[in-house]
Structure 1
Amino acid sequence: MAPGAQFAAKRLGKELTKISKGLPAGIVLVQGDNFEEWLLDIQVLDSNPLYMGQTYRLKFKFGSSYPIEPPEVVFVKLPDRPIPIHPHIYSNGIICLDLLGQQGWSPVQNVESVCMSLQSMLTGNTKNERPPGDEEFVRGNRLRPKDIDFYYHDNNV
C-alpha cells in the first residue's frame, strides 16, 4: 500500500470508529466495510415540505489522497431513494457544492461534516428545481464529479 493510501486508510479507520459510536440525527451509515466507498442515508429533519419524509442515499468514494483531497460524493438513485430536487444537485446525483471541490475542501472536513452540510443545504432550499442546464449537463458530462470545475455564481460578492 502506498504511503498516501495508508494515511487515507488510517484516517478513514478513525472516522469509522467515531461513526460507529453514533451519528447526528438523520444520518445513517449503510455500508462502510472498506476504505474505498461508503454509502450513507440522510434525511432532512425540519419541516421543509420539499424533502419531508424522504431519505436520500449518498455514495462517498475515497482516493488515496483523502483527506488532503475531498472524497467524491454523489446522490444515488434507488427505487426507494430518489435524488433530491435542488438547484445545486443534478438529476444524475452530482452535487455542485464548493465544500466538495478542491478550492473549498479542507482536511478538517470528514464524512459526518459533509453529510451535515448536505442536510443543511437541503434544509435551506425553497426552490423545487434542478440546476440550470441540467439535461444538457447530464447528457454531455463525461467527467468524474471531482474533476468538474463548477462556477459558483451565487458566491460572488
Structure 2
Amino acid sequence: MADRAVKRINSELKRLSQEPVPNVVIDTENLEELRTITVSLGGASGTLYDGETFKLQFTFDRNYPFTPPEVIFVGENIPVHPHVYTNGHICLSVLGDDWSPAMGMSSVCLSILSMLSSCKEKKRPVDNTIYVNICGKSPTSSFWAYHDDAV
C-alpha cells in the first residue's frame, strides 16, 4: 500500500481513538497490515436497530483517500435494510459517486449509522436476489443507481 494511504489511515485511527464516534468500535486485533479494518457498529438507541451490533469491513487500496474504501457488512448479522444486500453490500452514495478525499472512516460510519437510524421498516432491497446472484465479490465493481433517499 502507498505510504500516503498508510499515513492517512494511521491518522484516522489515531483521531478515532481520541475522538470516538458513538456506537463505533475499531477492532484493534488485526491492524498490522492496515489494508483491511473491521469496525463494530451498534444500532442507535430508539431506532429499529437499537441493541443490535453489526460488523463493517473497510478495505483500502493504494489510492486511498482519493478513492473510497470498499465497505461491506460482514459476519452473521447483516442488517435488514432497503439499502443493504444479503451479501453485505451497501448502496450508499458516499461509498461511490459522492466520495470525497475529505471523508474518512468516521464520516462513513456516521453515514451508515444515519442510514440505519432513518429506516422506517426492516426489509431487503427489492432487487436483492437478482443483485446477489449476478454481482461480483466487490461492491466497487457494481454500478449503483442512487434513487431512494426516503428510506
- The two structures have a TM-score, normalised by structure 2, of 0.91
Deviation at 1:76, TM superposition (A): 0.4
Task: Report deviation, 1:140.
Answer: 1.8
- Give the unaligned 5+ runs of structure 2: none
Give yes or no for the alignment of 1:18 onto 2:15. Answer: yes
Q: CA deviation at 1:22?
A: 3.8
Contact 2:24 / 2:41 at 8 angstroms: preserved in 1?
yes
Deviation of the 1:143 alpha carbon: 4.9
Secondary structure at the aligned position of 2:64 is classed as: coil
DSSP 3-state at the match of 1:137:
helix
> Corresponding residue for 2:85?
90
Task: Pick from 121, 131, 148 the counterpart of residue 127 of structure 1.
Answer: 121
CA shift for structure 1 position 149: 1.0
Alpha-carbon distance in structure 1 between the residues aligned to 2:53 and 2:106: 16
Match of 1:45 in 2: 44
Cα contact 2:72–2:89 (8 A) shared by 1: yes
Separation (CA, whole Å) in 2 of partners of 1:144 and 1:24: 26
Where 1:154 maps in the other structure, the secondary structure is coil
Q: Which residue matches 2:94?
A: 99
How far apart are the structure 1 equivalents of 2:143 and 2:137?
A: 10
**Shift of the alpha carbon at 1:21?**
1.8
What does the per-residue CA deviation read over 1:110-143, in whole Å, with 9 as the maximum and x for residues that have no partner? Answer: 1011001100100000121111110121122125
Structure 1 equivalent of residue 4 of structure 2: 7
Instruction: Give the corresponding residue for 2:111.
Output: 117
Structure-2 residue corresponding to 1:27: 24
| 1:20 to partner: Cα distance | 2.2
- In angstroms, what is the RMSD of aligned CA positions? 1.4
Percent identity of paired positions between Structure 1 and Structure 2: 37
Matches within 5 A, 1:135-146: 135-146=129-140
